[in-house]
Every structure is written in structure tokens, then in C-alpha cells.
Structure 1
């Protein structure tokens, strides 16, 4: 197909450097398979039993230290003999790390105290193994946890010992209450333990740092960024939305002779007055520091992209269809998540018979139009990378920047008047057929099918209300009519 000249693109909406940070393809060599088989019948079972014993000992110490606390004590930081249990629990925690195959964890930098940095910002978050950071801080920090986790046998008592900030997802005020509690503890002048937070909110493959949620930055206090690296040739650590499951990764890791991990405590980051007033700016600047230290790019992917991936999978589309850098589209286009889900349903209606991308032919079929110069021009405006197909991200941006701005009341009125040749207040089948044939070379059968689709009242006439409702449902037409109108106007001007 002949392609029109590509229009200039907004740099802020170009494709991210890392297109999919939520996939982990674990490649097994013959040596890897042999090692896993050998370790599965020799060392791994011993390690698993050792882990069970260590967890039970840790649970026992945690349960003893939490026993018989009064309601008043539960509202205060641990003190006295209860707090003294922290040292043996740290030792048991490091023993757990050792038995999991992390025989030596390399620590860089100096962990700050709660007075120096009340919050620890850890990333990239790529695995449940990231929790090992807890045992290499100045003291065991507080964690954020779902309330349900506190009732899990063994694990619940260990979480409770950290005096967690509990998140109640069924509570509509949970987010607000969580931020308030973080703020209260962060401003306690070191009385409460540090709070450890993974601001990405979901696991990635460590190829980048995705969007940081601002919750940890609302208190406006100093934070210590903490970087995690797993410099292993065979990656049994990364737990993402596409890839091996949690149990498989745990077993593969137990079957390694040695697994490397590096923890780097970066210098404490003290926010400026501007950052204290703008949590998003604070979060972005801390992320930039961590990305620089890690040597990875940043993207505006977020947990909402994962939710869109799940939505795409339910529609039987490739999961990657949902990867749109949602936070960027939210900031630049004002796109809300519910609106994105509705657009994904609409996208599916067009692309359901393909590999997840819309072709020029499918675009024309959806609009019930034959190929034409005007349609080709509109398609090229959607196809931002010139690939010859439109992906979901391009579709969302195209609707927002190409079609919707043109789909105004004035444009709809103009288009209606274009069809309503005698200003009767309604459009007949011959009128629709005549314009569509002249503008887009559409044949009679296709125009009649389109007429029947718009004629909701089935009275043989299309009134303005029916026309407007259909135009709002398919804003792609607005740009087409605008293109046709401009071409027609330019043609008259040249003749004159």
C-alpha cells in the first residue's frame, strides 16, 4: 500500500526502550538440566528440610516475643526483651538465605539508621527472594503487607514481628490509611523501625525500573535507595507475569551450587522543598538515581499494564497487547484505567482474527469502507512506527490525538449536512450510498449494511440523534470526513 508522509510524532509518546519488562524466558542448557536433576536427589531435599527447621525456629522466637502484649503495647514499637529477639532472628534469617543457595551476599554501601532515613526504597522488584534484604539492614525493617498475610501459619508471626503496616484491600479507605500510617511512623524521629517499600508494586525482569508509586514519598522525609542485583548466568530468581511459577523458581534455586546476590545501599536521599510538595517528582528523582546506579533505563510501565495484560489474555489476545505504558498515557492523554479496558474490548472487535495487531484491511472492514486515499491517510496517522499494522498502544494514542479531537459537535453536524442533501433533517439510503460512493468508492451493498447499522429505529431514515450516537461510538469516521472535506475544499480552490 502506498503510504503517505508520516506526521511528526510527540517524543513523549514514543515507544519505551524496554517493550516488555514482565516476561522471563528461562533457557535451560544441557548442563543446567543435568545439575538440576543431580541436585534434586542430593542437596536440594536437605536444603528444603533445613529451611523448614529454620523457619520453625524463627517462628518460635517471633511467637515468644509477641506473646501477651497488651493493646497499648501493640500500638508502640517493640522494646526491652521483645526487641532483643531481633539479633537471633537476623541470624536465623541469614541462615535461611544461606540454605537457599545464597552462600555469600555482597553488600555495598552503608545501611542508614531509622533516624537518618525512615524509609528504604528497594528496586528493582523482581522476585519473592528480594525479601532477603531485610536481614542486611541496620535492623529488621517494617514491611507493608496485606492483612490476610498476618494470619498465615508461621509466616504470619514473622510478619507480625516486623510490626507491619497492614493493607486492608476490602477497605475503600485503605490507601489513605496506609499513607497516613507511613507518614506517622516516618516522622517518629527513629522510634519506629525503618519501613521497607518496593515502590514498583509488581515484579519485573530487572531490564528497567518501571513507574514508582508515590505512596512512600508523601511523608517527604529522607529515604535510602537500595539496589538489588542477581548477577547469575542462569537466572532462577526472576518471577514475572510470564515465565516460571514461584515453586518452580524456588526449586531451581535450591538446585544451584551457588546463587549470587548484590545489595547496594545508596547514599541517603533528602528531598528538596519542591519534592516534599510533589510526591510524584520525589519518586521520579529517586528512581532516576537508582536507574543510574543500576545502569538500566526507566519506563512508565506500571501494575496497571499487568492488569491490561490479564484483560488481553481473557480476550484470547497476546498478553503483550496490553502493554501500553499506562502511566504515560494517563499523564499525557488523561486516559483512565476503566476507559482503557473499554478500549481494549473495542480493539478486540477489530483485531480478534489477527495476531493482536490491526491490519489496514481489518481497519477498513471495521469501518465498512473500501480502501481509499483518505482511509489510507487516517490509517497511517494511527500507525506511528510505520510497521503497516496498528497495535493497541497506537490505537489508544490515535483515538486520543487523531480521531477524538476531530469528533466535535461541529464536525458531526458538518458530516450530517453532507449526507442530508436537501436539509430534510434525516438521511435516506440513496443519499448515504451516493456520498460514500463518491468519497470512498463504497459499493451499494456495503453502504446499505452501514445504513442498517446506524438506523437504530429501523424506520428507513437516519436522524441526527442516530447519526451522532454512531459517530461518537466510532470516532474514526470524524477524521475521515475531515480529510475528505479538506481534500474536496483544496480541490475547489485549485480549480478556481
Structure 2
């Protein structure tokens, strides 16, 4: 297939995109913020028809000979937002090109040659994952369009916010549900004997997926439009509850489980940097609890210096639950007690605020390992020279990795080349530059989880790292076990 079918399909698909490009370019001229005319002009409707036909021919050439559509797509007056899941591949663009609905997508997509022009034609809502203000503007734009009375095209949103492997639905982002308007859930299936579609964090790359799919003679895709979901008053007031209930409906239709984990948790679990988190890290549980407390990563990151200053002032003095609550500026709750228990290793009802700040730094900046360690050195370092001792390094790295026990003796001696019995952050930084993979040799063997964390499942989890929650069981507001495990 590589030497026969693949090149023919690739050339034909490229030709179709080149054919569609000038139509989309001309039709997308002008301001993208300008409200569409109602009803659409004759030439716009003609371009819509031509582009749909060209795109359908392109997918047909790629082996998607028949697209199975179940249910009925709601009218814009019935549902202005369509929520699609699971999001597992760039082939999820098929329903977008079939309906010419607007989409919410990464801002980087508009810079893709040719494809970016086709994207701009459907008047998308662009979001930048790195720009926190962009996220706020995206939510406002979704709300404005959703409440425009059908003047804008329907918006297709993939509420998971990232690609998964279709074995479970991760936590939905609330953007599609903040407007509080009815949404129509749409589920996607690829019932192929050989899965060449799924594109996830550790799976094949984009080009390999394209090659394998075009080499497969026939590719199947099913698009099912579920009944419109109208929110209750409580769901309108609580977008997270609304998102969770819609996710449960979609999970039941797909026959898969749901998980509390989010896109940010995926980043945390698979973060790079000098300290890669071990599989049994409790920081994923801590990240979940910070969300339950309403502590947003973007705000926490801004407040880290303030938190560290308070913790440095307190030194090694431990605090109880009430002071812990005041420190984080959140009321005492079950979630706060569970977070407190993660740091109360001895069960004495007291915790060190410095450990909490380190954990918050890792959750906010999962790939910026040295920034977190530098922050920790400022809190643990001796007045004046900022040096720390071996027991301090052990505490810092245990907390940064989310493990209960960790031997740092060999690492400390390697860094302390002059045998001074203490090290500075500059010493550690120089060592990390010379040995960027030092953690693999010195830190990772024989780690055990925090006592306050739930046990790592002994059987494989549904998608490799997500804990399994059945669709029948509510995962919203569920209280994780806070009893310390022996």
C-alpha cells in the first residue's frame, strides 16, 4: 500500500485542499470579529456547498468511503453549542468539514499553511494554552456567540481539551457550559479493526498516523448526535456540574468510563525537566484537590512568591488545619482536610508550610524543575548564604516527587564535591548542567507513595494512567479516602 495506494491518496488529498484554498481565502477576507449576515448571502451559501463537497471528496480519497451519521443535528435555535468527544485524532475534523461549524482550537492552528486558511473560513474561536488572558477572552467569545440568538454558526467544542486514546473521558473543561445554554452532545467512534486513527501523548507521531491511515484500504467513522441537553437552574449556576453531567451522558453512549484527571494532570504526569514524576506520585491527587478547593493554577503561580515568603518566615514551625486554611485562603472542608493529610505524614495534626509551597510549585509549573528547587532553597536555606543540608534536600525532593521515602545521600555527596556538608542552589545547578539525567541514577529506584495518598492500582488502568470511575458512579464531589494507609 505504501508504494501503490498511499502516494495516490496523498496527492489527491493535497489537490483537494489546494482546490478549496482559494475559495476559503476569498470567503474569509475581512474581519473575523464581524457578525455574519443573516440569512447568509447567496455566494456564501454557494461556497459552503462547494467546500463541503471538496472536503468530502478529500476524506473519501483517504479511505473514509462512508461516514455513518446517527441521530439528528440540532438546529442553531435548539442548540448553539455542539460538544464532541472523545477527541482522539486530527481526523476528528471530519464532522467539522461536514457541517462547517465554528470550532474552538489552538491559536497555532491558524499558521498552518493552506489548512490555516480553511480553518479561518469557519470563523473559529482561537485559544492559546500559554496565555491566561486568552482563555478568559475565549470563554467570553463563546458566551457572546452562544447568546446571539443564532446569528453565528454553531460552535463545535472538544471539551476534553486534548487528545486521549478513547478508553475513557477525562474531565471536561467548563468553557462550553459557562453560557448556560442547551448543548447537543456528539460522540465519535472509529470502529476499525486496526486502529491507525488515535493520536495521543505517547502514541505514533502525526505523520506516521497519516501514513498508516492512508495505507488502510477502508476507514470507518461514526458520528452520533445525541438528544439536546438542557441544563437545570443548578447546572446553569454550576458549569462544572453541568459539564460533568453531560460527560456522563456521553460516556454511557460510548460505553466507556470517566476519570477525574484533566489536561493539566496529563501535563503533570508526563512532565519533562530534571525530575520526572514517578508513577506512584501523590502530586496527581494533590492537583485534583487543589481544583476541588477552587485554587486555579494560573492564580497559584502568581501567588507562589507570597506563599514562599510566609513559609520562609515560619521556618520549620508546623501549623494545624486552621492555620493551613488561612494560609491557602480557603475554608475548612473535606477537600482541604484531604490535602492537609497528604502533608501530615506522622498523623500528629501538624504540617510544614514549606512542603505545601513546593507541591504547589510543581503543580503550577510541572516542567520547570529547577525553578521549584530554587524556590525551595530560598525557604530552607540558612540565613545569609542560603546553603542547605542533606536532610533538607531529602525533604525538598521527597515533596517535589510526591513520595514518602527517598535516599539522597549519594546525590548530596556527588553535589558536595568539596565535602563541606552543605550545598547551595548554585552547586546543584552546576551539577545538573554537567549531569542532566542525574535523577535516573540517584533518585528513582525503590520509591513508595505518601501514606495519605490512595494506593496505586495493581491492575492496568483503562488508558495507562487514568484511574477508573464507572459512568454510573458520580465523580463530582466524591470524597477520596483521607484515612492514612499503612
TM-score, normalized by length of structure 2? 0.61
The correspondence of residues 265-284 of structure 1 with structure 2, limited to 5 A, is 265-284=225-244
Return the alpha-carbon distance in structure 2 between the equivalents of residues 285 and 327 of structure 1: 22
CA contact (8 A) 1:146 1:167 kept: yes
Residue 244 in structure 1 maps to residue 187 in structure 2: no
- Give the match for residue 204 of structure 1: 164
Deviation at 1:114, TM superposition (A): 1.3
2:136 to 176, 192, 196: 176
- Give the match for residue 406 of structure 1: 349
In structure 2, runs of 5+ residues without a counterpart are 302-337, 353-379, 406-486
- Give the match for residue 104 of structure 1: 66
CA contact (8 A) 2:188 2:223 kept: yes
Residue 84 in structure 1 maps to residue 46 in structure 2: yes
The correspondence of residues 306-321 of structure 1 with structure 2, limited to 5 A, is 306-311=266-271, 314-315=274-275
Cα distance change, pair 297–313 in 1 and its aligned pair in 2 (3 A): farther
Deviation at 1:151, TM superposition (A): 3.5
Deviation at 1:222, TM superposition (A): 0.6
CA contact (8 A) 2:103 2:157 kept: yes
Cα distance change, pair 89–315 in 1 and its aligned pair in 2 (3 A): same
More divergent stretch after superposition (299-308 vs 277-286): 299-308
Q: Deviations over 1:123-158 (max 9, x none)?
A: 01111111111134xx31101233343243211211
- Give the match for residue 51 of structure 1: 13
Q: Which has the higher helix share?
A: 1
How many residue pairs match? The answer is 329
SS in 2 for 1:85: helix
Cα distance change, pair 284–130 in 1 and its aligned pair in 2 (3 A): same
2:103 to 124, 128, 143: 143
Cα distance change, pair 320–262 in 1 and its aligned pair in 2 (3 A): farther
Deviation at 1:166, TM superposition (A): 2.2
Cα distance change, pair 400–336 in 1 and its aligned pair in 2 (3 A): farther
Structure number with larger C-alpha Rg? 1
SS in 2 for 1:254: helix
SS in 1 for 2:168: coil
The correspondence of residues 13-412 of structure 1 with structure 2, limited to 5 A, is 39-67=1-29, 69=30, 71=31, 74-77=33-36, 79-80=40-41, 81-136=43-98, 139-168=99-128, 171-311=131-271, 314-315=274-275, 324=284, 328-331=288-291, 399-400=342-343, 402-403=345-346, 406-408=349-351
Return the alpha-carbon distance in structure 2 between the equivalents of residues 313 and 282 of structure 1: 36
Return the alpha-carbon distance in structure 2 between the equivalents of residues 306 and 293 of structure 1: 24
Q: Deviations over 1:289-342 (max 9, x none)?
A: 00010111100111112211332575356678699367633345777759999x
Cα distance change, pair 233–282 in 1 and its aligned pair in 2 (3 A): same
In structure 1, runs of 5+ residues without a counterpart are 1-38, 342-394, 410-453, 459-465, 478-496
Cα distance change, pair 172–308 in 1 and its aligned pair in 2 (3 A): closer
SS in 2 for 1:311: coil
CA contact (8 A) 2:95 2:223 kept: yes
